[in-house]
Chain A
Amino acid sequence: MKETVTTAKHPWLVGICVVVVTAAYFVLLARSRHPDPGPNLLYDTAEFAQADNVESSFQETGRLTPTVEAPKALAAGPDGTVYVGGKDCVQVLDPSGAEVKRIAVNGSPTCMTLTPEGALLLGMKNRVAQLNVGDASVTEWPELDARAYITSIAVHGEDVYVGDAGNRVVLRFSRDGTLKGRIGETDPQRDIPGLLAPSPYLDVAVNPDGTLWVANPGRLGLESYRENGDLITSWYKPSMKLDGFSGCCNPAHIAFRDDGKLVTCEKGLVRVKIYDVTSGTYEELVAGSSLFPRAQSVRDLAVDARGRILVLDPKFNAVRVFEHKDDENDRTHQPA
């Protein structure tokens, strides 16, 4: 029987094809079968952070490092003294950050303010305590209801205003702790839209002319009230741009400078800014989000007697001090 022998016409071509196919197989095998997620599956916050990438006339001039555990509350005295409240303790620091005193308290203050007489009013979840810094004596006010979550406290004259984020209300007390009124609750008859606090941030501050201003974080703006709870004015600025308040609920913290300018601090994309409070006009950036870790919230904000803006930053466990560049230069060139 005659055998049939088949031979390739171009064996070298077949060989090359086999080598190429084999190489391609191994290259594809070596590469990941899973592509990395494309832009449609990613949330890029860089473009929002770009909004505050502008030149600021403020600069960070120092950091005070409190040694209290879990610092949450901050207050500044007229002599430059800084008070930091943490777990079961209030620490008193001099303007350079050196510890002056440490006072044990029952609980963790979430906010505090200084009375004109030099006592500290501490807000601790659902109660207020008055701490005499001199002899460390404490006077407790009656407890609020279980739902209360005190986030801010401010003193003006004979009134004490307490921001309660749990009940979404500002409570007006006398200096001895007697409740005198409730401010900010929804009341269509008085054109009060109601305070919204989706997260535990509801700050109050009294400006130098004596007007109470309340941050309404859920509406991304501010409201001012009379002592009797009447709404005077309000402005809201929800925006991802620098002149507005970003996120679901901002500003998280407010404070006033001696010249009546409002200092605000936002959470999430942390930005410290200055506004004209009556018109709601954005004026200046103090510190942008690039100076703060991503998705962090600062714990408290204060302005001291020298006009320094103090930010309690839990990430660095520090009170970060921001000053106008001109102020810093003036002080640097002053004769000793």
Chain B
Amino acid sequence: MDESKKIGRRDFVRGAAAFALAGGTWAAVGTKAEGTVWQLDPNKCTQCGRCATHCVLNPSAVKCMNQFNICGYCDLCFAYLHPGSRERNTGAENLLCPTAAIERKFIEDPYYEYKINEDNCIGCAKCVEACLVFGNGSFYLQVRQDVCINCNECSIAKACPSNAWSKVPASKPYMFITGETPPGQK
């Protein structure tokens, strides 16, 4: 047997250490699964109101969105105005939202744009249901990922009666009510 081809104890330990280091690095970086975040499917949501009350954050990380390509820009917007409101204006007594989180802006007669002030929105979904029943259904709820602290066990998901909540890839954190992909999300 050729003595020069013998592997010494020191070489063996060095080789094993290098192999372990390379393997550990690959395991840590190379095969790391993509992160996931909590999101709710607006097509399964039943507007139960628990997104407002069951989040560990106060106010909730769930906010209302308005999908403008569905919105009718109605003057008589049922998501904005209380059904019994006497006038169609910004008077507090006419507003449906309990925190006045919907902002109404005149576009051209008789069209108005409705935007959500997310600082005020508590995710109660009153406007979502009103728009769904009496309008085009352009309002829907989504978890704002910049607010959500992504609990391991989401307390809203646990309480959701319609199983609308699931973990979604962090690269695709939002959904549209139409099933389309939001801009900037492949």
Contacts and interface: CB of A to CB of B under 8 A. Distances in A.
**Does more than half of chain A's interface fall in helix, strand or loop, or is it mixed?**
loop
Given A41-B52, A41-B124, A248 B133 contact: no
A228 interface: no
Contacts of A238: 76
B129 interface: yes
Nearest to B131: A248
A36 B49 CA distance: 8
Contact of A36 (B53, B73, B96, B127): B53
B77 A41 contact: no
A43 B130 contact: yes
A35 B52 CA distance: 10
Contact of A248 (B49, B50, B98, B136): B136
Given A41-B124, A199-B136, A295-B133, A248 B76 contact: yes
Contacts of A170: none
A127 B127 CA distance: 36
Nearest to B156: A34
Nearest to A35: B53
B73 A198 contact: yes
Contact of A218 (B52, B78, B84, B110): B110
**Does more than half of chain B's interface fall in helix, strand or loop, or is it mixed?**
loop
A248 B124 contact: no
Nearest to A48: B83
Interface residues of A, number: 26
Interface string B8-50: 0000000000000000000000000000000000000001111
A303 interface: no
A269 B134 contact: yes
A248 B54 contact: no
B53 A247 contact: no
Given A246-B134, A248-B78, A37 B50 contact: yes
B87 to A, nearest CB: 12
Interface string A277-295: 0000000000000000011
A240 B83 contact: yes
Interface string B75-97: 11110000110000000000010
Q: How large is the interface on B (under 10, 10 to 19, 20 to 34, 35 or more residues)?
A: 20 to 34
A42 interface: yes
Interface string A214-240: 000010100000000000000000101
A36 B156 CA distance: 11
B72 interface: yes
A120 interface: no
Contacts of A248: 72, 74, 76-78, 134-136
Contacts of B98: 40-41
A189 interface: no
Contact of A34 (B74, B77, B126, B159): B159
A35 B159 CA distance: 11
A236 B153 CA distance: 51
Contacts of A48: 83
Contacts of A268: 133-135
A121 interface: no
A248 B75 CA distance: 8
Interface in B107-164: 110, 122, 124-127, 129-130, 132-137, 155, 159
A334 interface: no
A48 B78 CA distance: 13
Given A42-B126, A43-B125, 6 more contacts: A36-B53, A42-B49, A198-B135, A218-B74, A218-B110, A295-B132
* A-B pairs, 6 with minimum CB distance: A198-B72, A37-B49, A247-B134, A41-B124, A43-B129, A34-B54
14 contacts: A34-B50, A34-B155, A37-B48, A42-B49, A43-B47, A199-B135, A218-B72, A218-B74, A247-B134, A247-B135, A248-B78, A268-B133, A269-B134, A295-B137
